[in-house]
């Protein structure tokens, strides 16, 4: 067994405390990673505070992991000691279902394991629950370890393992590129990466944000247009404009208003997960053959493709690096939208 320092939450309303956790002994296909940086995702907060009502405690969140390979199993062929690597939202899947065979492991129907808060065997993870990246080391099956290209820093790469692939996957699936009008709703931890990726893909990018407060940043990231959704005129001026709209916020938005901004065969993709059901008028969908869809992260192959693309185009998250004893304060700042644009924990402070 490997013992790693970690920061864990014991109750939904508690504070993070330093502790130690056990990682499994290296199997033939396992990779031991010294974690250097771990991003803070909004889903970490939902899970840590049991807002989705399925959290096991103690909870060690973190699925935006960047580090260096410290050891490999005897049968590992994809990675070697010293490699720069990352781990995203998944650490295992069945490998046999239709989704897995199609390279869409994120939709595994045969018993996949998320990076943290998934019930697993004691052999897979001592304690029977997966623990995430708010720790100094992790052991992951080689098939779920990503190579981080040299062209991108480990600190700015960490958030790409969730935020990056969460945006890249629908942008690629719905063919964002030259000649396409793409709108990103919200420019936070997810949205700002989406603007960068959509612009690099060659699309004409518009940001739809509550206010114009981040307009300068949005244009710096590659957006050609920036509109405030608090201004009712926005929804009149942009009606029928977009081929693709990506919603990155978790607020309960008036989806019908945004659907009307789609042109013929346009699609609005839901990434942010609000706490109430969405409501849309059937006629809004039928008119102009519009679609309302959802998306999760991408499969392992597509996540590697995303990392390579981001390195090629110089894309990383805009981050604020914090020490591990600042996690609680960072959570509160995320909830207050007081970060530009992603917190990243320096694992050396653990």
Q: Which of 153, 149, 145, 139 is nearest to 78 (CA)?
A: 145
Looking at residue 273, its pLDDT comes to: 84
Provide CB contacts within 8 A for 45, sequence distance 6+: 51, 331, 334, 335
Looking at residue 253, its pLDDT comes to: 92
Looking at residue 72, its pLDDT comes to: 98
Cα distances (angstroms) measured from residue 210 to each of 188, 214, 249? 11, 10, 11
Cα distances (angstroms) measured from residue 230 to each of 32, 74, 212? 48, 57, 9
User: For 311-324, what is each residue's pLDDT tens digit?
Assistant: 999 999 999 999 99
- Is 276's pLDDT higher than 90? no
Using 50, 70 and 90 to split pLDDT, how confident is the model at 101?
very high
User: For 105-132, what is each residue's pLDDT tens digit?
Assistant: 999 999 889 999 999 999 999 999 999 9
pTM: 0.95
Do 161 and 89 contact (CB within 8 A), yes or no? yes
| Packed helices 191-200 and 300-312: angle between N→C axes, nearest 10 degrees | 70
Cβ burial, residue 325 (10 Å; 0-12/13-18/19+): middle
- Is 275's pLDDT higher than 80? no
Rounded to an integer, what distance in angstroms lies between the CA atom of residue 292 and that of residue 21? Answer: 42
Do 218 and 195 contact (CB within 8 A), yes or no? yes
Cα distances (angstroms) measured from residue 293 to each of 167, 237, 245, 269, 321? 14, 24, 10, 5, 34
Using 50, 70 and 90 to split pLDDT, how confident is the model at 251?
confident
- Is 298's pLDDT higher than 90? yes
Looking at residue 252, its pLDDT comes to: 87
User: For 167-219, what is each residue's pLDDT tens digit?
Assistant: 999 999 999 999 999 999 999 999 999 999 999 999 999 999 999 999 999 99
Task: At 129, list the tokens.
Answer: 């629950």
User: For 43-83, what is each residue's pLDDT tens digit?
Assistant: 999 999 999 889 999 999 999 999 999 999 999 999 999 99
Rounded to an integer, what distance in angstroms lies between the CA atom of residue 78 and that of residue 98? Answer: 24
């Amino acid at each position: 067994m490997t013992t790693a320092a970690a920061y864990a939450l014991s109750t939904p309303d508690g504070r993070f405390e330093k502790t130690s956790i056990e990682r499994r002994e290296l199997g033939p296909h396992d990779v031991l990673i010294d974690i250097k940086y771990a991003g803070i995702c909004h889903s970490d907060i939902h899970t840590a505070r049991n807002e989705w009502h399925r959290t096991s405690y103690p909870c060690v969140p973190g699925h935006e992991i960047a580090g260096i390979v410290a050891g490999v199993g005897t049968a590992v062929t994809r990675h070697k000691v010293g490699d720069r690597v990352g781990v995203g939202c998944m650490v295992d899947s069945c490998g046999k279902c239709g989704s897995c065979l199609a390279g869409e492991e994120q939709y595994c129907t045969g018993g996949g394991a998320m990076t943290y808060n998934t019930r697993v065997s004691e052999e897979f993870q001592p304690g029977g629950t997966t623990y995430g990246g708010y720790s100094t080391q992790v052991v992951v099956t080689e098939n779920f370890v990503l190579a981080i290209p040299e062209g991108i820093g480990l600190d700015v790469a960490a958030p790409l393992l969730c935020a990056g692939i969460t945006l890249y996957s629908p942008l690629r699936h719905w063919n964002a590129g030259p000649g396409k009008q793409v709108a990103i709703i919200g420019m936070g931890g997810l949205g700002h990466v989406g603007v960068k990726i959509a612009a690099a893909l060659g699309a004409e990018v518009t940001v739809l944000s509550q206010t114009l407060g981040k307009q300068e940043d949005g244009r710096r990231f590659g957006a050609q247009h920036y509109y405030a959704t608090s201004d009712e005129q926005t929804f009149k001026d942009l009606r029928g404009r977009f081929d693709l709209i990506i919603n990155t916020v978790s607020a309960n938005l008036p989806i019908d208003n945004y659907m009307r901004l789609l042109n013929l065969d346009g699609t609005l993709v839901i990434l942010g997960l609000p706490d109430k059901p969405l409501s849309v008028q059937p006629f809004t969908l039928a008119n102009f053959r519009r679609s309302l869809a959802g998306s999760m992260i991408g499969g392992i192959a597509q996540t590697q493709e995303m990392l390579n693309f981001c390195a090629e185009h110089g894309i990383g998250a805009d981050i604020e690096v914090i020490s591990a004893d600042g996690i609680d304060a960072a959570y509160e700042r995320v909830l207050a939208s007081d970060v530009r644009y992603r917190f990243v924990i320096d694992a050396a402070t653990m």
